[in-house]
Copies of this chain bind each other. A is one copy, B any other.
């Protein structure tokens, strides 16, 4: 591909850019600045790597306008270089897709409504009344149970399970091994027995929602579990019944949400974070790794610890916690000293 082609593609996506260099230069791959060979496209997004920008062997670099002068290669100057890098890489590396059409071993119920231009892999099972939008790719071994509706342009990996009556938006990305719409953990105890409470809510995913490998999103107990548009969820994450994750929420691996917790738009959740049930978190909160959220959060900011506090407080306190033993000893010595002083005055 020539840089000219790439620039045209980016412009077709609405990117405002200033191109500088030889438009006929061939680009074959992306690479990090410091490892790029000629033929590579790189991006520069962090001043820390300024020397790598100055010495890179890449054939072109995507960067912010103010760094153009630091580069000796062709440049594509844009407002948000990382985003433009993402678009460029999507263009250079089209997704590996299931071959077009429906594999003869896919079992599709007669009552399912299928869109156009589908790719449905081997050993896929699609239940009654399922609806699938145009241009979806549903890969090998995936099951989609009765009544589930999937929008257009979704990419659903291998050995995924989507249980009945879920609603999946457009351009969603459900990665291999994920389970969507499983029964929530709802039980009523009587004597020694835990009695299953039928989970009659659904899972509703907005548009452009992504669910990571082997993650689980449980269906609602009575109302629905909802992940709003643009939510992205990493691997091995658990979303409990009736949760609501607002627009553009991002959740890293091994985090979990107990039931009926609501998280506002733009929240970002690092790895191994846990949320208790029935909480409400406002918009624009970042939770640091391993934090534990046990009460409502009403003020945007960065939180950490268990139970969570303001991250700066947590850091200060955590630093002290590493000296707790010496603090204890100082306290003991001080006590003694004070006693000695008092004794000396009697």
Which residues of A are interface residues toward B (Cβ below 8 A)? 29-32, 35, 80, 82-83, 85-87, 89-90, 92-93, 95-96, 105, 107, 121-123, 125, 139-141, 143, 145-146, 157-159, 161, 163-164, 173, 175-177, 179, 182-183, 185, 187-190, 192-198, 200, 208, 210, 212-216, 218, 222-223, 229-230, 232, 234-236, 238, 240, 247-248, 250, 252-254, 256, 258, 270-272, 274, 276, 289-290, 292, 294, 305-307, 309, 313, 316-325, 327-328, 330-331, 334-335, 337-338, 341-342, 345
B200 touches A30 (CB 8 A): yes
Determine whether the beta carbon of B159 is less than 8 Å from that of A143: yes
Contact yes or no, A195 B325, CB < 8 A: no
Decide yes or no: A321 and B322 within 8 Å by CB, A197-B89, A235-B185, A334-B334 being known contacts: no
A185:B252 contact, CB within 8 angstroms: yes
Given the known interface contacts A107-B105, A324-B321, the answer about A193 and B179 at a Cβ–Cβ threshold of 8 Å is no
The answer to whether B247 touches A272 (Cβ under 8 A) is no
B83-A188 in contact (CB<8A) = yes
**Cβ-defined partner of A328 (8 Å) among B140, B187, B274, B327:** B327
Other-chain contact of A254, B87, B161, B254 (Cβ < 8 Å): B254
The answer to whether B177 touches A95, judged by C-beta atoms less than 8 angstroms apart, is no
> With A230-B193, A321-B324, A337-B338 known to touch, is A214 a contact of B177 (CB < 8 Å)?
yes
Copies in the complex: 3
Contact assessment for A254 and B232 in the assembled complex, using a CB-CB cutoff below 8 Å: no
For the complex, give the distance between the alpha carbons of A294 and B290 in Å.
Answer: 11
B222 touches A32 (CB 8 A): yes
Inter-subunit contact B324/A31 (CB<8 Å)? no
Q: Which residues of B contact A96 (CB under 8 A)?
A: 145-146, 164
- Min distance, Cβ A219 to any Cβ of chain B, angstroms: 11
Docked CA distance A145–B159 (Å):
13
* Contacts known (A159-B143, A334-B338); A253 close to B256, Cβ less than 8 A: yes
Q: Which of B252, B325, B337 contacts A258 (CB 8 A)?
A: B252
Shortest CB-to-CB span from A334 to chain B, Å, is 6
Q: How far is the CA of A272 from the CA of B274 in the complex (A)?
A: 7
CA distance A169 to B173 in the complex (A): 29
Docked-complex contact B317 and A324, CB < 8 angstroms: yes
Please list 23 pairs of residues, one from A and one from B, whose beta carbons are closer than 8 Å in the complex, sorted by A's number: A86-B187, A89-B198, A93-B200, A123-B123, A143-B176, A159-B161, A176-B179, A185-B235, A192-B230, A192-B247, A194-B208, A194-B230, A194-B248, A238-B254, A240-B253, A256-B271, A258-B289, A289-B294, A290-B292, A305-B322, A317-B321, A321-B321, A341-B341
Which residues of B lie under 8 Å from residue A305 when comparing CB positions?
Answer: 322
A105 to chain B, nearest CB (A): 7
Q: How many Å lie between the Cα of A316 and that of B256 in the bound state?
A: 25
Which B residues touch A194, using CB under 8 A?
208, 210, 230, 232, 248, 250
